[in-house]
A = this chain, B = another copy of it.
């Protein structure tokens, strides 16, 4: 089994078999025009194969404009289907970049399709050569000293604008409040008003001091996103000051640079998916997160954002949970990453999150739920911890809140009591 499998949802006015054959041809040995050298032998060895076509529903109007129905069609009918293609090892080898090009290249622009989405990818065993997460769930837990419950965290807010000293001051408050994990905002990387090196120095001074006093080393994900050398330097600065995590905006930085960072890195890589919506929000275009995140896991990311239940964005809960489950499902026998729940999270979503996942191997990031708690940030963090305790014990939040005032405060604040 040395072939790469890719599953798509397509919509087309062409016969499904023909449309699928066009996909396979365009993304492997074929072209629009037959050319010399395109021998049966070459096609056999290098052609992508249509493995399966499962017809789905039919729609009257094309989802995406620009597609070209078969010539002479008066009232085209647009059929949807799930199509599985496979690509030979000979074309791609174990290159992540080549794999991404094969499964997602020109396909989206093919005239035959009024909809085309990559919904899953299955890599062959040959891809086990990729570094993958260096720390993953176990390594992250060990560094953070947190077991048997989610890592509770927050994002430094305002998103951008604080000086290194102001950031360090806020981090002090958040460490004192009892958090396990703090991250830079995706918008705050190495900027004129908060150069990364200065921020790392100021923040780690606080974190190290807190660790010395309490024995707890809070994990801070510093956003090192930037140019290649800038990221490697950023990583080294974080390491040098005793930091335990770096963060990268995966999409703006890109796959090859993330893989390169991984080879250099001695720290967990926290993967933020800023820009993701552009690739996914139209359900018959782009990518599912199931497919997308596999590339970055193989490249070596340790933590992956998956949004959160009842989030402030447009993604529904089923999609969030599918992403999180996928992060927790081993690939090629390993490569497990820690899903990061974020956006509108507070204790309130803990029971449903736990019930759906059956796991605490996750990061749970809250913002307003911590800093805006009526009894202060420490109560905010306590309310998250108590919410998860209740969830794990199968006790309703309202019941648990009777004896846990921090949780009660949170439930009151969110109008859930």
Contacts and interface: CB of A to CB of B under 8 A. Distances in A.
A101 B275 contact: yes
Given A32-B368, A254-B253, A227 B160 contact: no
A91 B193 contact: yes
A192 interface: yes
User: How many residues of A sit at the interface, in one of the four size bands?
Assistant: 35 or more
Contact of A104 (B105, B278, B286): B278
B281 A312 contact: no
A242 interface: no
Contacts of A95: 189-191, 225-227, 230
Contacts of A228: 228, 256-257, 259-260
B93 A191 contact: yes
What is the count of identical protomers in the complex? 2
A368 B254 contact: no
A78 to B, nearest CB: 14
B276 A109 contact: yes
Interface string A87-100: 00111110111101
Nearest to A115: B281
A124 to B, nearest CB: 12
A287 to B, nearest CB: 7
A313 B274 contact: no
A31 B188 CA distance: 13
A382 B186 CA distance: 53
Given A93-B190, A252-B97, A256-B228, A104 B275 contact: yes
A161 interface: yes
A315 interface: yes
Interface in A236-282: 249, 251-260, 274-279, 281-282
A29 B104 contact: no
A187 interface: yes
A339 interface: no
A27 interface: yes
Given A257-B254, A315-B109, A275 B100 contact: yes
A277 B190 contact: no
Given A66-B314, A161-B91, A98 B28 contact: no
Q: Which of A29, A42, A93, A106 has the most CB of B within 10 A?
A: A106
A152 interface: no
A212 interface: no
Given A95-B190, A252-B100, A285 B281 contact: yes
Interface stretch (A33-41, A325-333, A349-357): A33-41
A371 interface: yes
Interface string A150-172: 00000001111110001000100
A10 to B, nearest CB: 13
A153 to B, nearest CB: 15
A367 B344 CA distance: 52
A291 to B, nearest CB: 11
Contacts of A191: 90-93, 95, 98
Interface string A386-398: 0000000000000
A111 B314 contact: yes
Contacts of A314: 64-68, 109-111, 113
A63 B367 CA distance: 30
B66 A316 contact: yes
B101 A186 contact: yes
21 contacts: A29-B159, A29-B161, A30-B159, A31-B158, A32-B368, A33-B367, A35-B367, A37-B158, A91-B161, A96-B252, A97-B225, A98-B191, A102-B187, A106-B274, A106-B277, A108-B276, A111-B313, A226-B256, A257-B257, A282-B282, A282-B285
Interface of A: 27-33, 35-38, 42-43, 45-46, 64-68, 89-93, 95-98, 100-102, 104-111, 113, 116, 157-162, 166, 170, 186-193, 225-231, 249, 251-260, 274-279, 281-283, 285-287, 307, 312-316, 344, 367-368, 371-372
